[in-house]
Structure 1
Amino acid sequence: MEHDQSPGEPPNHPPAQATLHEIRTAETSAAHLLPKLHSMKEFNPHLTLLDVGCGSGTISVSFAKLLPDGYITGIDVNPKILPRAQAVAETAGIKNIEFKQGSIFQLPFADETFDITYCHQVLIHIGSPWDALREMLRVTKRSGVIAAREGDYETECIWPELPELVKFHKLMAGLMRSGGGAPAAGRQLLSWALRAGVERRQVTLSYSTSSYNTPGGRKICSQGLCEQLRGGGLREKALKFGLGTENEFEEMAQAWEEWAEKEDAMLAMLQGEILIQK
């Protein structure tokens, strides 16, 4: 799935890193869930859906468009991102949605609240992802669906293989591990679901790819990563854990800028996907 454009520009235009995340929609980031969502919608147009780790809300908003008679709840552990998510929804004219602060390990909802519970690029960053899946199962109704899509960072391929970008790949993997995450999350989703107590027959496993290979896509990718290397949370965390120096981060940023301008440049990664039928 190629990423090369933002779904819209709400008030207070975001920094480049936010734009990198805000090109995500249900169509690009939850395609494995959509056939099931549409079949469930035929029987119940008033579906409730929880988007765990909603970030700035572009995926949540696209779910709300697909379920105009349903209701979407987005939740994120970072309260500072929620005003941005609300702005995205308001700009899109979406009313059937709300955003709350909360942890995936302690979702602030009663048992069996939602018809569909979904997360995207969340489990890859946390320890004990099976506990997170168990909590997602708890808040999902009987006969409901839990869906997740996580990158397999170890499958990333890039061209041209500039030395500084190879270093960047190692930096990102180190950052994930330092926070208890698993860079190869995509290939471990089924294992985590089974550890959460799910039976194999309940799980549908699939794979897709994400890629940046157009001028627009490369620009968004490069600008977002450069911003993080030059002053964002990625840089701060990497310095904290001794995973690089300021000079090295600047060299990586310059390499991303060089990569974005090359006509033959590309970046792709395998994405693991699961659907759990409760």
Structure 2
Amino acid sequence: MRRVCKPGGFVCAREVEWPSLVLYPRIQYLQESRELMEKLAYNAGKTLRGGRGREFARRAGFSPESISASAASVTYANEADRNWWGENMAWRLESSSDLKKGVELGFVTEEAAAGMPNAWREWAKATDGFYCAIDGQVVCTK
């Protein structure tokens, strides 16, 4: 993004700081799905560590003075947000090869993989369902 950014332009990025995730209630396979996504990201050479945004921007060639870092809290607690996020997570798991790959790599059992999408749907229906995570964000000026 830095390469194609015009002088005076901005590059903005935001990523979840995955260990900051708070999920309630505790539903079987919900936490396992979070752990699976993190393991698959690392296995692919990616990271779910938004707190490293400054580091990645600097390594991409931005000077430290041109990088502004901050954080935002993302929360899904009301019924509409829970329904949207729960179904989004279930769909992501079902429509990708993540579950199959997780089983193949030994990150999860077939039973756990099969239960993960429905765990997100169950979470979405929980009256007291709560999801909160911190996103690290950077704005870089070229």
Alignment partner of 1:208: what SS? Answer: strand
- The structural deviation recorded for 1:228 is 3.9
Is residue 201 from structure 1 mapped to residue 65 from structure 2 by the alignment?
yes
Is residue 239 from structure 1 mapped to residue 86 from structure 2 by the alignment?
no
Q: Deviations over 1:86-113 (max 9, x none)?
A: xxxxxxxxxxxxxxxxxxxxxxxxxxxx
- The structural deviation recorded for 1:267 is 0.6
Q: Deviations over 1:104-153 (max 9, x none)?
A: xxxxxxxxxxxxxxxxxxxxxxxxxxxxxxxx111111111111111111
Is residue 216 from structure 1 mapped to residue 80 from structure 2 by the alignment?
yes
Match of 1:167 among 3, 10, 32: 32
- The structural deviation recorded for 1:231 is 5.1
Is residue 145 from structure 1 mapped to residue 10 from structure 2 by the alignment?
yes
Q: Deviations over 1:38-66 (max 9, x none)?
A: xxxxxxxxxxxxxxxxxxxxxxxxxxxxx
Which residue identity lines up with residue 179 of structure 1 in the other structure? A
Q: Distance in 1 between matches of 2:92 and 2:115?
A: 13
Q: Distance in 1 between matches of 2:97 and 2:24?
A: 26
Alignment partner of 2:102: what SS? Answer: helix
Q: Deviations over 1:174-194 (max 9, x none)?
A: 11111111121x100101112
CA-atom RMSD in angstroms:
1.8
- The structural deviation recorded for 1:230 is 4.1
Is residue 275 from structure 1 mapped to residue 139 from structure 2 by the alignment?
yes
Equivalences for residues 67-86 of structure 1 within 5 A: none
- The structural deviation recorded for 1:171 is 0.9
Equivalences for residues 1-278 of structure 1 within 5 A: 136-184=1-49, 186-230=50-94, 232-278=96-142
Q: Distance in 1 between matches of 2:10 and 2:4?
A: 10
Structure 2, unpaired ranges of 5+: none
Q: Distance in 2 between matches of 1:199 and 1:231?
A: 39
TM-score normalised over the length of structure 2: 0.88
Contact 1:150/1:272, CA 8 A, preserved across alignment: yes
Alignment partner of 1:183: what SS? Answer: coil
- The structural deviation recorded for 1:277 is 1.1
- The structural deviation recorded for 1:212 is 1.5
Q: Distance in 2 between matches of 1:229 and 1:198?
A: 35
- The structural deviation recorded for 1:157 is 0.7
Percent of pairs with identical residues: 25
